[in-house]
Amino acid sequence: MIVGVGIDVVDVARFGRTLERTPRLRDRLFTPDERDLPLASLAARFAAKEALAKALGAPVGLSWLDATVVRAEHGRPRLRIRGTVEARAADLGVHELHVSLSHDAGISSAVVVAEG
């Protein structure tokens, strides 16, 4: 059963300017494993975290650092969750998260499906 679906789109250049203006934002949004990735990949991961929040009903209090996009076998993206995000997913009965990332023509996007 589908519990929620989220989608988000990020303008890569605009996101890059935001990170330049607010350097500490990188540490607030991304885990240490994510922080040094290329800008388009960071934008896609930010889109994934936004899409994840939407799929979980966009509750107040989710920590950006409680969700990480990792590469599963064959390079496929996967969401690793803990803390506030894991608790919200458990409250909703979510047992599986599906994520798809894309970046092209200066845009990064992500779709997340939460399955119970």
Look up the CATH number of the domain holding residue 96.
3.90.470.20
For residue 111, the enclosing domain spans: 2-115
pLDDT at residue 73, as a whole number: 81
Alpha-carbon torsion angle 87, 93, 95, 101, nearest 10: -70
Residue 50 confidence (pLDDT): 97
Q: Which two tokens stand for residue 8?
A: 């988000």
Per-residue confidence (pLDDT) for residue 106, from 0 to 100: 96
The DSSP-derived string for 1-14 is: -EEEEEEEEEEHHH
CB distance 54 to 110 below 8 Å: no
Mean pLDDT by groups of 10 residues along the chain of 116 residues: 97 98 95 94 97 94 94 90 97 97 95 97
Number of domains the chain contains: 1
